[in-house]
Chain A
Amino acid sequence: EAGVTQFPSHSVIEKGQTVTLRCDPISGHDNLYWYRRVMGKEIKFLLHFVKESKQDESGMPNNRFLAERTGGTYSTLKVQPAELEDSGVYFCASSQGRVFDYGYTFGSGTRLTVV
């Protein structure tokens, strides 16, 4: 079984540019989560999809962040325009069902650096 795939693994962009991160969850996993970790801080929740619907987007920092999940398969997270404070590692995770029953499978993350 393939795991959760994220790309790119690294991205360095200038302030004001746009970046799009992609996540391919494990096939059949309806639940998809985005998290972000800034150096030394917690892994912070951004949002949760169930299939193609946003279940919870309470962690999205502001309207510069846009997440989509086309057809309930892969998901993208777009940051436009990027700011310095957006730097961090963005993790995607998927779950077969309720997370408290099945747990998360994380991808390896995308390290975003905004300069």
Chain B
Amino acid sequence: QQQVKQSPQSLIVQKGGISIINCAYENTAFDYFPWYQQFPGKGPALLIAIRPDVSEKKEGRFTISFNKSAKQFSLHIMDSQPGDSATYFCAAPGTYKYIFGTGTRLKVLA
């Protein structure tokens, strides 16, 4: 069973700072890597995703950087805001399903 290693487990960032979360995956047959954002009491929701025919994808303050040769990808949150405080999960494609990381609890201090 494929595993996805995610770090750090928790992260505290000052408002306006950069939040960086890293993930590493094993072999995969498909190329589509999403990040999910989860607020307390809610289910995870798709935040941003990348197909690794590109090395970077940016949507607003959120950027995915992808290193296919190293089998690693990361989420960067620029100008982090208190409203970004949530748990973030990376995911890698398994067989017709996603394999998720262990999650990163982000707290952005006002």
Binding site for B on A (CB under 8 A): 4, 33, 35, 37, 40-45, 48, 55-56, 58, 91, 93, 98-100, 103-104, 106-109
- Which of B59-67, B70-78, B95-103 binds A? B95-103
**Bound form: Cα–Cα A107–B41 in Å:** 10
Given known pairs A42-B101, A100-B30, the reply for A91 and B44 (CB within 8 Å) is: yes
For the A-B complex, the count of residue pairs with Cβ-Cβ distances under 8 Å equals: 58
Indicate with 1 or 0, residue by residue over B90-110, a CB within 8 angstroms of chain A CB atoms.
Answer: 000111111111110000000
The answer for the CA separation of A55 and B94 in the assembled complex, in Å, is: 13
Is the Cβ of A109 less than 8 Å from the Cβ of B43?
yes
Among B34, B41, B100, point to the contact of A43 (Cβ < 8 A).
B100
**Which residues from A are CB-within-8-Å of B36?**
104, 106
**Known contacts A104-B36, A106-B45; can you find 14 more A-B pairs with CB under 8 A?**
A35-B100, A37-B103, A42-B99, A42-B100, A44-B100, A45-B97, A45-B99, A91-B44, A99-B98, A100-B32, A103-B49, A106-B36, A108-B43, A109-B43
Name 25 A/B residue pairs within 8 A (Cβ), A-sorted: A4-B43, A35-B100, A37-B103, A41-B102, A42-B99, A42-B102, A42-B103, A43-B44, A43-B100, A43-B103, A45-B94, A48-B96, A56-B96, A91-B43, A93-B43, A99-B96, A99-B98, A100-B30, A100-B32, A100-B93, A104-B36, A106-B36, A106-B45, A108-B41, A108-B42
> In the complex, A93 Cα to B30 Cα: how many Å?
20
Tell me the complex Cα distance, A48–B46, Å. 19
What distance in Å separates the Cβ of B46 from its nearest Cβ neighbour in chain A?
Answer: 5
- List the B side residues contacting A98 at CB < 8 Å: 96
Which A residues are in CB contact (< 8 Å) with B96? 48, 55-56, 98-99
Q: Which residue of B lies closest to A47 (CB)?
A: B97
With CB as the reference atom, state the residue of chain A lying closest to B99.
A45
Which residue of chain A has its CB nearest to the CB of B91?
A43
